[in-house]
Amino acid sequence: MKSKYTITEAKKLLKETDLSEDLLNEFSQDERSGIKKLLEQYYKKRLKQKELIEKFHKKEFLEKPFWDQNLAVAGVDEVGRGPLAGPVVTAAVILPANNTLYEVDDSKKLSIAKRNELYKLICAQALDISVAVGSPQLIDQENIYHATELTMRDSINNLYLKPSHILVDAMTIPVDIPQTKLIKGDAKSLSIGAASIVAKVARDRLMTMYSKIYPEFGFENNDGYGTKQHLAALDEFGRTKIHRLSFAPVKNISKLY
């Protein structure tokens, strides 16, 4: 049996994610190999979308009790604790209960293109977003762990909405708001995952900007981590104003850029 649609028309229709059962039944009885292949692709895509939504609902279980009471809950995460250069960047994100951020995940698991795509979606759907920057000088003065806590505090304090609760990735934020500390929270909580993406994109953009000032270090590619190129440039040109003096091997470099 052959359906009334051409292969081109069927391809266009089967790009939709929610077709009627009558239409799908018509396509399933079509014996053309092109239609069979398109239908197979359609069902694979639909299954993948279903799995994605199921995973998404599992990730919002921590936020849901607050959303059910119409309360704001903030996810907080950091990026840049380990590099030799550049700031630590934190983000706080408050999402609405009706968000459709199905692909949000730990930013480290995502490609650059996917991170940038999700960053735009988060910015479009979030009720509030705040990004804070902890300078290399703050890191040297306080130590990286405490500097991160203080920067997370800034990201919470700079929100327009005061959250009723905070979900944070493996840290304790020095603010007087109840909080849940999660190990690998960016993979477990939707809000923390969104915050990890915002912080990562913000810091990457900062490091790309710094790469224009200090082109020898390759900051646009290494994010300030101690790659071969970075260490060689450190030896040859000396430390810059964005290097962390308390981190080895920077502390052993006396030459200034």
- Full-model pTM: 0.85
pLDDT tens for each residue of 173-219: 999 999 999 988 878 899 999 999 999 999 999 999 999 999 999 99
Judge whether 169 is annotated as a binding position.
yes
Single out the residue of 118, 116, 83 nearest to residue 102, CA to CA.
118
Question: Is the preceding peptide bond at 249 cis, omega within 30 degrees of 0?
Answer: yes
Q: Which two tokens stand for residue 66?
A: 């607050």
> Is 77 flagged in the annotation as binding?
yes
> 73 — phi, psi (to 5°)?
-125, 135
Judge whether 223 is annotated as a binding position.
no
Averaged pLDDT of the chain: 91
User: What pLDDT digit, counting tens, does each position of 12-27 carry?
Assistant: 877 776 777 877 787 7
